[in-house]
Structures are given as C-alpha cells and as structure tokens.
Chain A
Amino acid sequence: MSDMANEPTTTPTEGGRRDFLKYLLGGSIIAWLAAVLYPVLAYLKPPKQGEVEVTSVKAGPVTGFAKDSGTIIRFGDKPIILIRTTSGEFRAFSATCTHLDCTVQFRKDMELIWCACHNGKYDLTGRNISGPPPRPLTPYRVVIQGEDVFISKNA
C-alpha cells in the first residue's frame, strides 16, 4: 500500500505488467495441465467396440427344448432366456435382471423366472412380481420356422 502511495505514476503500468505476466503464467499452467490431463482422462474411457448388430438368432430345433424348461441363449453379447411353458408355448426375454445385472434362470419348482443374486422374481410373462427388480424383463419375439426356433428383437 505504501509503495503505491509513494509512486502513484509508475504503479498502474507496473501493476498491469505484473498482472499480465501473472495471467500469462497462470493461463499457461492451466493450458499445460489440460494438455496433460485430457489425453489421460480420454485414455481411461474404453473405446466403443465395433460390434455387429444382432437382430435375430437361431436358438435351435423345437425338439431341443423340453416343455416346462428355460434355456439361456446367446444373443450377440447379451444373454436371452428362452422359456417353453407347460403348454409348449415359447417365450423369450432378456436374461439380464433389471435389478443389478445378474443373469436370471427358470425355476421349475416355482414356475417363475428367478434371479439368484437378490431373490428377484418374475412371472412367465417377464413381469417383476417380487423382490428388488424395478422393471419387467424386456421381451423378445420368438418365431418358429419349420423345425427351428428363432429369436429376434421386438421391432
């Protein structure tokens, strides 16, 4: 403060020069940090894999699925559960539990789709009926062509 009072004429330019250098230095440090951190942070983010979009898979021959059973079918990189009811009807749902990502299974004794991780239960239409799952299982379309069962995405 006393310096400013003694040298009122030189202070504005000196202060301006000092401020300019301060901002230049500060700005350079920020720019340098950004130049270092950005590539590192970008590196941490895994790249999207160019995967083939699967719209339909062949699950197998009709005779390969017993009545009153459930099977996990690979649909691209996702698991699907294919249910054959006691009446012989086929139904397919995403096998990924809507709660915390576990893979569900068919329980013959309960006539339910069940998730072992947190005791989540869905009925055979995929509706969440008990336990923590917040949403029903996503249904898939089942088409029988000749002797084979095909599963496809619901358009």
Chain B
Amino acid sequence: MKPLLKKLYHWVDERVNLEDLVQFLGKKYVPVHSHSVWYYFGGVSLFLFVIQVVTGILLLLYYKGSEELAFESIQFIMAKVQFGWLIRSIHSWTANLFILAAFIHMFSVYFTKAYRKPREVTWLTGMLMFFLALGFGFSGYLLPWNELAFFATKVGTDIAGAVPLIGKPIMVFLRGGDDVTGATLSRMFGFHVAIFPGIFAVLLGVHLLLVQRQGMSEPLGEANSADPEGKKMPFFPNFLLRDLLLWLLVLNVLAILAVLFPWELGQKADPFSSAPAGIKPEWYFLFMFQTLKYIPAQVAFVDGEVLGILTFGLAGLLWTFVPFWDRRSSRGQQGRLVNYIGIFVVMFIIVLTILGWLA
C-alpha cells in the first residue's frame, strides 16, 4: 500500500511539482492566543457549505421545480425515496446552521478586527458570501412551494420593490412578473442551484486563497504582546485535526437535529387563500421583519417600509465597508467606536429576534 502511494505521489510530483506546496503547508502556522477558538468558525462554515452542496445535488435528482409539481415532488422525496426525509431534513437544518456559523464567523472577525489591512479583500469576499448565503436561504425557502414560503416570498420581494426608483424593476425581475407565481419558483430555483453557487464558488476560492496566502490574523492586543514570536501551532496536522474533530461534532449535532426534529413541509401554497396566522420568516430575517412591524406607516412623508429598508441597506453597506472607514485598527490602534457599534448591532439583532420569536 505504502509504496503504491509513494509511487502515485512521485507521478504527480514529477508533473506538477508538489514539493513547493508540501513545503508551504509544512511552514503554515496558526497563532495560539485567548481568542483562537474563533478561528474554527470559518472552517465550520466551509464544512456546512460542503454538506449543502452534496445534499443539494442529491435533492436535485428528484426535485421538480414547477408550481404544479414542486410540493408533490418533495412529498415524494420525504415519503417514497429511501432516506429522502433524512437528506431533505439535513439540507434544511444545515442551511440554518450554516447561516448561524457564518454569523458567528463574521462577528468574530469583526470584533477581533481581522478585516484590517491587509485583509480587506478577504472581509469583502466574506461579506458577499454572507449576503449570498441569505440569498440561498431566501431562494431555497420557496422551492417546496408551501404556504409559508409563498407569503414569505411575496413579502420579501415586495420589500425589494419598496426601494425608490430601482425597486420595481428588481421586484419584477425577482418574481418573473408582477406577482409571485410559478415563474417566481422557476427563477428562485435557477438562482438557488446555478447562479448563486457559481458566484459563491468564485468568492470562496478567492477567500480561501487569501487566507492561505496571508495566514491567520492576530487580534490587535495579542499581536502587541511582549513575546514577538508568540505561541503558534502548526496548521498541518495539528490545527487540521482539531478542525476535523469539530466537523465530526457538528455532523453529529446535525444528525441528531435532522433525525429527532425532521423538517416539516407544511401546506401547499394557494395563491387564493389568506396569509396564515403566526406567519414568520426564517429566524435570520426575523429581526428585520420585527423592526418593520414597529415602524409606523408614515414617517415624515416617507413610507415606513421604505425608511426601514433604506436604513437596513445603509447599515449593511457601512458594515461591509468597515475596513475602509475604521482607520485606527489598520494603524494597529484599538478603536472603541467600532466595538460599540458591533455590540449595538449584536444586541439589536438578538433582542429583535427574541421579540419576533415571542410575538
């Protein structure tokens, strides 16, 4: 077995010169400090994304993306296909855990100021992937064509339509017409399985390449410590093995959730029924949904929803461009303002999510 592997290695090495890569990996270190635990969430997000790709491809083998057949095809997957219920349940649960892991990854990078020079592009690609992850969630949510998804998509696309000037064309583009119909399902299906994965793959490639090339960022306080060398751990195999162990744990949690709390399918969408009581978006949109409830219909001649969406849009934009306006951390100084903003955002999201949950 061993000589065969060695032969294979040499065969490849002769052609593409693996030696450089092996040397590079051998010299790769991960800094060890009190905030090292946050390094794992990028890897966890990556792992969950890979699960989504695999289970998504499996679901594609049976799913039918049309108004008449979508709901029935998922019923078929869940009732007839062997382990279909498991694959679908894992896909739904992983979607939620993926966004949770991405949230944690994003906030940990924000608070440790890892976005600062020279890692601005890594942060930007990460933020774009985060927005795409929300897009994956939104587009995938409609695919079972159930009642909740139908109205969630109506509301979500109508919110996009509230943006002044460009809103209406965007809404029509997203819906594939003026209303949410089978045309919307076709579009969301296309976004979910082709367009978003394509863009995501490119962003992920750049993101990972930059992480490899630049190495892990050290939090400001830790980098300034007395020991210039600092404590570190080899990436290969020490850090990677820890990563793998955590991934195994995540997989177990996922299996428990998917088996004990199988994802429900609900009622088939009926465009001529009332929105059901207790309708709510997915938890990661809940804080925005809840905020919209509190904004009055009119605020100084502006529609409340327009004000809400413009405020969230502006906040998202500022957040995305934090490496460029937070100059202090690029100079290696601690900036309290950025921390206060971050704490406010986290508290806002948590409190409004809980309020939305209880409402």
Contacts and interface: CB of A to CB of B under 8 A. Distances in A.
Contacts of A79: 271-272
Given A128-B297, A132-B304, A132-B305, A72 B292 contact: no
B155 A100 contact: yes
- Among B175, B177, B274, the most chain A Cβ lie within 10 Å of the Cβ of B274
Contacts of A128: 297
A46 B182 CA distance: 13
Given A46-B172, A72-B273, A101 B154 contact: yes
B296 interface: yes
Contacts of B292: 100, 118, 132
B274 A104 contact: yes
Nearest to B176: A46
B158 A101 contact: yes
A132 B298 CA distance: 8
Contacts of A134: 297-298, 303-305
A117 interface: yes
A50 B357 CA distance: 42
Given A46-B172, A132-B293, A132-B296, A117 B275 contact: yes
B190 to A, nearest CB: 11
A57 to B, nearest CB: 12
B93 interface: no
A42 to B, nearest CB: 12
Contact of A117 (B155, B176, B272, B304): B155
Contacts of B304: 132, 134
Contact of A102 (B154, B173, B296, B297): B154
Contacts of B303: 134
B276 interface: yes
Given A132-B292, A132-B305, A134-B297, A115 B154 contact: no
A100 B305 contact: yes
B146 to A, nearest CB: 15
Query: Which 5 A-B pairs rank lowest in CB-CB distance, beginning with the nearest?
Result: A105-B274, A101-B158, A102-B275, A116-B275, A134-B297
Given A77-B179, A133-B297, A134-B304, 4 more contacts: A46-B173, A103-B151, A118-B292, A132-B295
